[in-house]
Each structure stands twice: as C-alpha cells, then as structure tokens.
Amino acid sequence: MTRRFAVALLVLAACDAPDPVAVGAIVMAPRPLPQTEAEIAFAADLFNGLQGQSINDAREYCGLIGVDTAGRYVATPARRGGTSSCLPPETAGPGVTVLASYHTHGAYDREFLTEIPSYDDIRTDIEDDTDGYVATPGGRLWYVDARAKEARLICGAMCLVSDVRFEEDPEFPVMPRYTLQDLAAF
C-alpha cells in the first residue's frame, strides 16, 4: 500500500458516523460496517481488473461490493453500462451485506468531466442508501459518502489503471472533495 493511499484511508476512517444522519428528507442508517483499508484495497484491485475493458469499450461497468458471511470482501460481476451510466444489480445475493456500489467512468474524453463523480453518481447512492466507489479514466479512485452527500478522493491520477490518452485539464483542476451541491453546477 502506498503512503498516499494510507493517508487517504486515515482521513476516510475519521469520517465514519456512528449515528443515523439526516440527508434532506431521508434519514439514513449508519453504514453496515466501518470502511477499512482492506475494503479500499479490494475496491482498487477490482477496478484495476476492470479499467482496461472499460476504457477499451468506452463504457461504464458497475456492480456492488459487500462482505459475505465469512467476512470476505466480494463483488457482484460487473455489468456493462452505457457511455455515461450503468445500473448495478439490486442485491448482491444471499448472505452478502452490501457496503457500496462501484462503477468506472469509461474512456478519456476531453469533452466530458470524467475525472470527478457526477451529481447523479452521488444522488443515486443517496437514493439507494449506500456508499460508492468510482474509478476514472485518469486512474483516480473516489469514495462517495452517501450520508455526507459528498465524494472524497482516495488517490489521484494514475493510482489505478488509466487511459493512455488521458491528459489533465489545466482549466479544471480536480479538487479532493465535492459535495452534492458542488456537483449540481456541472
């Protein structure tokens, strides 16, 4: 695990809320299990296995991450989505406690903001009462905290498999955190 990854984990661990949190008119229960370094590493490994296909196909891929009855991290098979959306399964199967959704953002396209989670990414996780992980074509890994209505950067460009055509946009510096309200402007 890289030092940058470890620092991000400490920041995220400090953000866990043990009590239900009001989100607009929705009251969300606490996350079923606290986020761990092992969970983040599992998500990163999952994305590293998916990014190449997602980039080559220029499509999003998505699913659910959870823990089985033996306490092992598991993921549903990735579903192939469209160029800018993907619908994960409703459940992860019997005996699996869902912790988060996951999805890729496909291939690099300078015409779209693919390096940050979208407003709909966060809104959908809030509506589904689950957190989420997002991988970008530039190789960034994001964590969507549905209860806080925000996305936090776990690791920056090139920390995951990335599109060889990716270029940073000098006119749009990526911030380490975006709220649902911030993303409404995009």
Please write the tens of the pLDDT for every residue from 21-36.
444 445 677 899 999 9
pLDDT category at 2 given cuts 50, 70, 90 is very low
d(CA 168, CA 148): 28
pLDDT for 19 equals 38
**Percentage of the chain exceeding pLDDT 90:** 80
What tens digit of pLDDT does each residue of 63-91 get? 999 999 999 999 999 999 999 999 999 99
Single out the residue of 75, 80, 70, 78 nearest to residue 93, CA to CA. Answer: 75
| Helix, strand, coil in percent for the chain, rounding step 5 | 25, 25, 50
pLDDT category at 137 given cuts 50, 70, 90 is very high
Alpha helices in the chain (DSSP H): 3-13, 37-57, 119-128, 180-183
pLDDT for 147 equals 93
- The CA angle 85-89-92, to the nearest 5 degrees, is 140
Work out the mean pLDDT of the chain and round it to a whole number. 88
What tens digit of pLDDT does each residue of 163-180 get? 999 999 999 999 999 999
In this predicted structure, the answer to whether residue 162 has a pLDDT above a threshold of 90 is: yes
Cα dihedral 171, 177, 179, 180 in deg (nearest 10)? 70
